Amino acid sequence: MAQIPATSSIESVSTEKRVFAPPKAFSKTAQVKSLAEYRKLYKESITAPEKFWAKQAKQELVWSRPWKKVLEWKEPVAKWFVGGQLNVSENCLDRHLGTARANKAALIWEGEPAAEDRPGERRVLTYKQLHHEVCRFGNVLKQAGATKGDRVLIYLPMVPEAAIAMLACARIGAVHSVVFGGFSAQSVADRIFDSQAKLVITADGGFRRGAVVPLKQNVDAALELKNAQGELLTKSIEKVVVLRRAGNEINFQAGRDLWWHEEIAKASANCPAVPMDSEAPLFILYTSGSTGKPKGILHTTGGYLLYAKLTARYVFDLREEDVYWCTADIGWVTGHSYVVYGPLANGATSLMYEGAPNFPEADRFWSIVERYGVTTLYTAPTAIRAFMKWGVEWPKKHDLSSLRLLGSVGEPINPEAWIWYYETIGGKRCPIVDTWWQTETGGIMISPLPGAIPTKPGSASLPFFGIVPEVVDDAGRPVPRNSGGKLVVRKPWPGMLRGLWGDPKRYQQVYWTEVAGSYFTGDGCRQDKDGYFWIVGRIDDVLNVAGHRIGTAEVESALVSHQKVAEAAVVGRPDDLKGQALVAFVTLKSGVKVDPGLQDELRQHVAKEIGPVAKPDDIRFAEALPKTRSGKIMRRLLKQIASGAEIKGDTTTLEDLNVLAKLAAPDE
């Protein structure tokens, strides 16, 4: 485990002193109106958690059968609302139909232009329409052989059908596993193998900056992939449902492949929501860890939905008339909890955008904000830093006065970016919610409640109701204020992961052994004198590149799977735009020469193995990697080298890192 810095690079004393009081006009109508009110509610939520959560679950969700027990906690396994039954799609759709929300926009969708000179497509689905589509697609899934408990892999672009597919799975009790469209065929195959999915839902292609991402072609390739013993990884797959999106030519395998539009045309719109056990799996979402293959994070039904709904309402101060836009892709947890489940459970209008922030031009986000009157924008620091770089002329072209709240997620936001977001986008009028959470936590854990909690640029501030985070030392003892430590969570909460798919041992080992009796987040943190949490970033071997979680071990094994590579070590270095960049140190097999094309060849290889998001930014070739006497790669040294001097243009020479290693730490 790496050393934890006592103070984070993301704050300095002068910025910490800057405290932004909640704007008075905002507090007047906010869900929680003052710091005192927050403190009172928070205290209630942690002194009698079961009472608190029972009250919320009763108020917020429609149950087909009441629960017998609020919480059953046998570390590390939590069961919430034991014995209760409900359906997530019913809670997101049906329950709004008898109300004034029936004809309200549930999803507003803006597509990516197919080319620079063509407008993106636009669609609006009301709650009634979305319900209709979800029911029909639920029947398509059943027709294709999926039933309660079966796993369904979703590999789609950011189109309404992605949300429809997720909700249809939930409706019939199937377990979805969404794979980000930027992941490779190999990643798709690995996830199919791990989850033993029966169906794949994909599209011919998706648009990205005027190009077509060949999703179906990747699925075809995935379905051919074999393990080392020569066995197909994807034997469990029975059918592939294909959405017509990009219109590109695809290979269609009769008998296995089904067209979405053909099947749905035949499907009835009568699809009863199946009452599910509160602890029935809702979805599996794969995320990088510090070792080996991605972990299948498991979320279940009742607790997850309650937590997603409640956090969405309080953190974004959701109001009936809001146009709420979370820019995350549905392939990440943020897309699950805050594009689909949280907003829809609240009856909100959720805007979905398919494409890039700078296509056709760098004002794409701001033109969308203006056109739809977006009130709430939730995006990532890496995007904000890119906007800063592109210049104020782009947002200045548009009327952003509809905005009333701004959110940030995915990585620490540096105070400069925070202030720019606040002033240039929010017009100094909109509170900023810097939300800390993880795939594992299901929903937001530490964040200001707008209107109630004063904000400090760079701090996620204070915990949500029912959450007991703490900063501890290696022995698990709380550290004094203003010293660095590990961030843990002391008590179970409804949105927490229920395990790693098929691997209870690894679940226990990764999250519950580092600090006895607590959930270990993998993040370093510091609490200031006011109790505000300042997240430093990962302290394990997981990197955060442009808000994407990438395990160094995964990239290393992708590199080593290339025929020319002997050994690889991947570390992060600070990057102005992406937060962190990936630097790979590679040794080559004997006889292999470094040629000018090799760097690119290896980068492409990683893209093929994992996906373009994992491509190393720099690859440096070395004679040997610096190692300790026990044979461990000296990552600390490599990190220093990686973030030190600029990489010279000439990468065709080999570095002798062993010499450096001896200089740096002769006795390590």
Is 295 one of the binding residues for ligand 7RM (CB under 6 A)?
A: no
Estimate the crossing angle of helix 127-143 against helix 160-172, to 10 degrees. 60
Distance from C-alpha of 457 to C-alpha of 587, rounded to nearest angstrom? 42
Binding status of residue 524 toward ligand 7RM by CB under 6 A: no
Structure tokens at 487: 């961030």
Residue from the set 436, 511, 519, 520 that interacts with ligand 7RM by CB under 6 A? 436
Q: Identify which of residues 333 and 449 has a Cβ nearer to ligand 7RM in the complex.
A: 333
Tokens of 491: 């008590």
Residue 161, phi then psi, degrees to nearest 5: -60, -25
Per CB under 6 A, the list member of 67, 127, 437, 465 interacting with ligand 7RM is 437
Query: What DSSP designation does 153 have?
Result: E
| Residue 8 CB, nearest approach to ligand 7RM (Å) | 10
**10 Å Cβ neighbour count for 578?**
21
CA atoms within 13 A on the CB side of 361: 12
Q: How far is the CB of 380 from ligand 7RM (least distance, A)?
A: 8
Angstrom distance (rounded) from CA 233 to CA 228: 10
By beta-carbon proximity to ligand 7RM, the closer residue of 38 and 520 is 520
Q: Is 541 in the site for ligand 7RM (CB under 6 A)?
A: no
Q: Which residue of 264, 409, 559, 606 would you call a contact of ligand 7RM, by CB under 6 A?
A: 409
Q: Of the listed pieces 42-50, 56-64, 81-89, 532-540, which binds ligand 7RM according to CB under 6 A?
A: 532-540
Quick one: 332 or 365, whose CB is closer to ligand 7RM?
Answer: 332
Could you please report the per-residue DSSP string of 39-90? HHHHHHHHHSHHHHHHHHHHHH---SB--SEEEEEETTEEEEEET-EE-HHI
410 binds ligand 7RM (CB under 6 A): yes
Helix 552-560 and helix 598-609, axial crossing angle in degrees, nearest 10: 120
Please say which residue, 237 or 419, places its beta carbon nearer to ligand 7RM: 419
Of 517, 522, 518, 556, which Cα lies nearest the Cα of 537? Answer: 522
Which one, 217 or 376, has the nearer CB to ligand 7RM? 376
Which residues within the stretch 542-601 sit at the binding site for ligand 7RM (CB under 6 A)?
544, 549
Q: How far is the CB of 280 from ligand 7RM (least distance, A)?
A: 23
The reply to whether 4 sits near ligand 7RM by the rule CB under 6 A is no
Which stretches within 561-622 are classed as H helix? 598-609
Q: At 135, list the tokens.
A: 């029911």
Min separation Cβ 534 and ligand 7RM, Å: 9
How many Å is the Cα radius of gyration of the chain? 24
Q: Binding to ligand 7RM by residue 538, rule CB under 6 A?
A: yes
Cβ count near 118 (within 10 Å):
12
Nearer to ligand 7RM by Cβ, of 535 and 625: the residue is: 535
φ, ψ at 335 (rounded to 5°) = -65, -35
User: Two tokens at 547?
Assistant: 């808000």
In a 3-state reduction of DSSP, which class is residue 162? helix
Cβ at position 338, least distance to ligand 7RM in Å? 9
Give yes or no for a cis peptide into 463 (omega within 30° of 0).
Answer: no
Locate 113 and state its tokens: 């232009």
Using CB under 6 A, pick the residue from 138, 537, 579, 616 that binds ligand 7RM.
537
Given the complex with ligand 7RM, which of 80 and 332 has the nearer CB atom? Answer: 332
Give the interface size with ligand 7RM as a residue count (CB under 6 A): 23
Nearer to ligand 7RM, 260 or 511 (CB): 511
Here's the x/- map for ligand 7RM, 216-255, by CB under 6 A: it reads as ----------------------------------------
Give 398's Cβ-side CA count (13 Å radius): 22
Which of 94, 112, 220, 411: binder of ligand 7RM (CB under 6 A)?
411
Please report how close the Cβ of residue 542 comes to ligand 7RM at its closest, in angstroms: 8
Among 163, 535, 581, 582, interactor with ligand 7RM by CB under 6 A: 535
Question: 400-432 burial string, b = 16+ CB within 10 Å, else e?
Answer: bebbbbbbbbbbbbbbebbbbbbebbbeebbbb
Q: Give whichever of 346 and 521 is closer to ligand 7RM, judged by the CB atom.
A: 521
Lay out the site mask for ligand 7RM across 304-343 (x = CB under 6 A, - = otherwise). Answer: ----------------------------xxx---------
Nearer to ligand 7RM, 84 or 458 (CB): 458
Instruction: Write phi, then psi, for 150 (nearest 5 degrees).
Output: -70, 150
Cα distance between residue 383 and residue 547, in whole Å: 9
Contact set for ligand 7RM, span 466-505 (CB under 6 A): none
522 is an interface residue for ligand 7RM by CB under 6 A: yes
Considering only the stretches 168-176, 430-438, 606-614, 625-633, report the one whose residues sit in contact with ligand 7RM under the rule CB under 6 A.
430-438
| H or E element that contains 97 | helix 95-97
Query: Could you tell me the smallest distance in angstroms from the CB atom of residue 438 to ligand 7RM?
Result: 4
Place of tokens 């309650």: 306
Give yes or no for residue 439 binding ligand 7RM (CB under 6 A): yes
Query: 278 or 544: whose CB is closer to ligand 7RM?
Result: 544
Which residues 6+ apart lie within 8 Å of 196 measured at CB? 151, 236
Burial class (CB in 10 A: 0-12, 13-18, 19+), 554: buried
**H or E segment to which residue 656 belongs:** none
Among 22, 296, 395, 412, binds ligand 7RM (CB under 6 A): 412
Which 95-154 positions form the footprint of ligand 7RM (CB under 6 A)?
Answer: none
Q: How far is the CB of 471 from ligand 7RM (least distance, A)?
A: 14
Instruction: Pick the stretch among 156-164, 515-523, 565-573, 583-591 that binds ligand 7RM (CB under 6 A).
Output: 515-523
Residue 537 CB, nearest distance to ligand 7RM (Å)? 6
514 near ligand 7RM, rule: CB under 6 A: no
- What strands lie across the sheet with 349-353, from one edge to the other? 122-126, 105-110, 349-353, 323-326, 376-379, 405-409, 432-435
Distance CA 298, CA 310 (A): 20
Which residues are near ligand 7RM by CB under 6 A? 287, 332-334, 409-412, 434-439, 460, 521-523, 535, 537-538, 544, 549
